[in-house]
Amino acid sequence: MKISVIIPAHNEEEYLPAGLAAVAEAAKIAPCEVETIVVLNRCTDRTEEIARDFGAIIAREDAKNLARIRNAGFAASTGDLIVTVDADSRLHPHFLRIAVEKLKKNIIGGGAMVFPDRWSLGIVCSAFMVIPYLAKYRLSFAAFWTTREAFEAINGFNPDFVTIEDVDFALRLRDYGKTIGKKWGTIWTAPLITSCRKFDQYGDWHLVRDPGFLKRAFDGTDEEIANEYWYDQRS
């Protein structure tokens, strides 16, 4: 058995070392082999060099579309179990171990508990604004884990979405699980730590000041907001 950890990366030299180091620590505890795939997306900094120094497999996809980027990572992978995590996030040391244990049970895959790398009142208020959107789907997100078979069965991430491709993936994975008698799972006890770089850039209160942003982001097809907030960052 092998785990493939897929990491999309667009000019991630600042955060990628910590992210890859976290995967390496989790791999030490994982009960099977772990490979890491870094998908380079229009990188002009040291992202590729850093990824190679950590022994990662290199894939490439230049589209401004995270679904295509994640799918390119899957195409380059060889693992029986698939994990996707963003470059500015850090896996808990026990994350991979727990994912393997859950997938051996009656679980199709799932998401994770996630914590920011810092807290403020603005960030807490922003979290409360996001909760209604996530509660609508009753699913967890942040880092996904499933089997290769399930990933292929739902055709991976849907490139029709330029945002919330992760929400769409989770919904389809959960629904597929129901057809084969498996449940959605969440890794609660090994939380993911994610960066607050968007809050650092736009301000801790930016979601509160611009409530329309979330509505546009959760539409899934707004290329203008996708490019501004995600794909054209760090260019």
User: What's the CA gap between 29 and 35, in Å, rounded?
Assistant: 14
Lowest mean pLDDT among 50-64, 103-117, 161-175, 206-220: 206-220
pTM: 0.96
Q: Which long-range contacts (CB under 8 A, 24 or more apart) does 53-60 make?
A: 54/17, 54/20, 54/21, 54/24, 56/7, 56/20
Listed in sequence order, the DSSP H helices in the chain are 16-29, 47-53, 66-76, 95-103, 121-137, 148-153, 165-179, 197-202, 206-209, 212-217, 223-226
d(CA 173, CA 141): 12
Name the strand (E) or helix (H) holding 3: strand 2-9
Does residue 135 register a pLDDT over 80? Answer: no
Whole-number pLDDT of residue 218: 86
- Confidence at 14, pLDDT banded by 50, 70, 90: very high
Please give the structure tokens belonging to residue 66: 């995270």
Q: Judge whether 113 and 188 are in contact, CB under 8 Å.
A: yes
Residue ranges covered by each domain of the chain:
2-114+140-194
pLDDT of 18-45, one tens digit each?
Answer: 999 999 999 999 999 999 999 999 999 9
CA 4 to mean position of chain CA atoms: 13
> Which residues are bridge partners to 232 per DSSP?
none
Q: What's the Cα-to-Cα distance from 62 to each of 8, 72, 118, rounded to whole Å?
A: 11, 10, 31
CATH topology of domain 2-114+140-194: Spore Coat Polysaccharide Biosynthesis Protein SpsA; Chain A (3.90.550)
With a cut of 80, say whether residue 134 has pLDDT above it.
Answer: no
Reported as a pLDDT band with limits 50, 70 and 90, residue 130 is confident
